């Protein structure tokens, strides 16, 4: 049961980690090449459309399965070799939630902001900075889940 919860968390977080890699490596640098107005239009069409349900589903879903795995690890008296990466994954997931709570209002504000470069540029820059930190949490969460899965296979 714990293996299934960890696997589901890992799959959801893997998709989230893939999306954030795309953002950090491909999309965020493009904002300077195509201009802030064009990037604002793109991000409104993406993040404020399908992104409104996809990103929360991935992040919250992963966090829920990590919590389930942690409860199972604690109540099932699993060794600390497994408990440690599960707890770390949950902590990193809380970091993802915290940075998302900072980024989401910025994106929602961008959705209502007039398309003037002096208005959208600071919002986009703030959104990008928060998401660089968010990316670190997502990647550490992914590594912790991979570690936890390794422990499930080798220990449990």
pLDDT in tens, 55-67: 999 999 999 999 9
Percent of the chain at pLDDT > 70 equals 99
Work out the average pLDDT over 6-27.
Answer: 97
Q: Does the pLDDT of residue 18 top 90, yes or no?
A: yes
8-state DSSP, 49: T
Helix axes 51-75, 80-112, angle to 10 degrees: 160
* 80: confidence class by pLDDT, cuts 50, 70, 90: confident
pLDDT in tens, 124-146: 999 999 999 999 999 999 999 99
User: Which sign does the torsion angle of CA 153, 18, 70, 83 carry?
Assistant: positive
> Where are the alpha helices (H) located in 48-112, listed in sequence order?
51-75, 80-112
Q: 50 — phi, psi (to 5°)?
A: -65, -30
Q: What is the pLDDT of residue 156?
A: 56
């Amino acid at each position: 049961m714990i293996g299934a919860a960890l696997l589901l968390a890992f799959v959801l977080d893997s998709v989230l980690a893939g999306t954030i890699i795309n953002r950090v490596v491909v999309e965020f640098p493009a904002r300077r090449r195509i201009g802030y107005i064009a990037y604002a239009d793109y991000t409104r069409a993406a993040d404020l459309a399908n992104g409104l349900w996809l990103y929360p589903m991935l992040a919250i879903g992963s966090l829920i399965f990590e919590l389930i795995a942690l409860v199972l690890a604690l109540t099932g008296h699993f060794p600390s070799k497994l408990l440690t990466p599960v707890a770390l994954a949950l902590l990193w997931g809380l970091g993802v939630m915290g940075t998302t709570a900072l980024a989401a209002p910025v994106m929602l504000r961008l959705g209502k902001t007039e398309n003037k470069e002096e208005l959208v540029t600071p919002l986009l820059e703030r959104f990008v900075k928060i998401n660089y930190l968010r990316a670190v949490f997502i990647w550490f969460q992914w590594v912790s889940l991979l570690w936890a899965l390794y422990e499930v296979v080798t220990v449990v």
